[in-house]
A and B are shown apart, each in its own frame.
Chain A
Amino acid sequence: GDSVTQMEGPVTLSEEAFLTINCTYTATGYPSLFWYVQYPGEGLQLLLKATKADDKGSNKGFEATYRKETTSFHLEKGSVQVSDSAVYFCALREETSGSRLTFGEGTQLTVNP
């Protein structure tokens, strides 16, 4: 079945550091890929998405490229801020599975000033 694997956290960085959170997936077809972010006390929010190979999703300085050859969708940001501290979830949706999302384990990011 479908699965998503994220790098283990927690991740702690200093402000303005470069961020990479790895995400790889297993799927039988051609899934859409997502990154969600959960700030403390809030629900998950869509950060960015990509629907086909080589697509790049971007939002708020974050980027992720859909790499079919490596089945990856790594999240990157060139310069993190304290306000980026949150839990980040990688997810996929297979067209054959309807509307359901399959999530990774989540990665806790803490950015220190």
Chain B
Amino acid sequence: GAVVSQHPSWVICKSGTSVKIECRSLDFQATTMFWYRQFPKQSLMLMATSNEGSKATYEQGVEKDKFLINHASLTLSTLTVTSAHPEDSSFYICSARWLGYTFGSGTRLTVV
């Protein structure tokens, strides 16, 4: 079946640095990728929707300059958290639209 590989599974970074999270569709072409953020004991919150070759559509309240999304190819989408701060610590999950939704395994980001 369809698989989305998400890396890294966890990362610790210092405040002020940037972190890149990658999601690759391994056996299908993902024209649409969704990026979610999950706080402890809370639901997955949609951050943005990206379509291959075009700019991402961000949800209200999500800073597009802070959470840079690139979807340059049909098999790769990246989320870069720029100038990370401790409040950006969270669980980030990607999901590709392909005969349904296929999810990555998530990235636990801790900013210290």
Give the B-binding residues of A (Cβ under 8 A). Answer: 4, 36, 38, 41-46, 89, 99-106
Task: Point out the residue from B38, B101, B106 that lies within 8 Å of A101, measured CB to CB.
Answer: B101
A44 touches B97 (CB 8 A): no
Task: Point out the residue from B32, B42, B95, B104 that lies within 8 Å of A105, measured CB to CB.
Answer: B42
Task: Point out the residue from B38, B49, B103 that lies within 8 Å of A43, measured CB to CB.
Answer: B103
B105 touches A43 (CB 8 A): yes
Report how far A38 CA is from B95 CA in the complex, Å. Answer: 13
A106 touches B34 (CB 8 A): no
The dominant DSSP class at the B interface is strand
Question: Which B residues are CB-close (under 8 A) to A105?
Answer: 41-43
The 6 A-B residue pairs with the shortest CB-CB distance in the complex, in nearest-first order = A43-B103, A44-B103, A103-B44, A103-B43, A43-B105, A105-B43
Say how far B50's CB is from chain A's closest CB, in angstroms.
12
Taking the complex as formed, is B93 at the interface, i.e. its CB lies under 8 A from any CB of chain A? Answer: yes
Say how far A92's CB is from chain B's closest CB, in angstroms.
11
With A4-B43, A100-B49: A43-B34 Cβ-Cβ less than 8 Å? no
A43 touches B43 (CB 8 A): no
Taking the complex as formed, is B68 at the interface, i.e. its CB lies under 8 A from any CB of chain A? Answer: no
Question: Which B residues are CB-close (under 8 A) to A99?
Answer: 32, 34, 49, 97
B105 touches A41 (CB 8 A): yes
Task: Point out the residue from B9, B42, B46 that lies within 8 Å of A100, measured CB to CB.
Answer: B46
Question: Which A residues are CB-close (under 8 A) to B104?
Answer: 43
Report how far A42 CA is from B41 CA in the complex, Å. Answer: 18
Report how far A46 CA is from B101 CA in the complex, Å. Answer: 8
A42 touches B105 (CB 8 A): yes
Q: A4-B43, A89-B44, A101-B34 are in contact. List 11 more A-B contacts (CB 8 A).
A: A43-B102, A43-B105, A44-B93, A44-B103, A46-B100, A99-B32, A99-B49, A101-B44, A101-B101, A104-B43, A105-B43
Which chain B residue has the least Cβ–Cβ distance from A6? B43
With A100-B34, A101-B101: A43-B4 Cβ-Cβ less than 8 Å? yes
Taking the complex as formed, is B6 at the interface, i.e. its CB lies under 8 A from any CB of chain A? Answer: yes
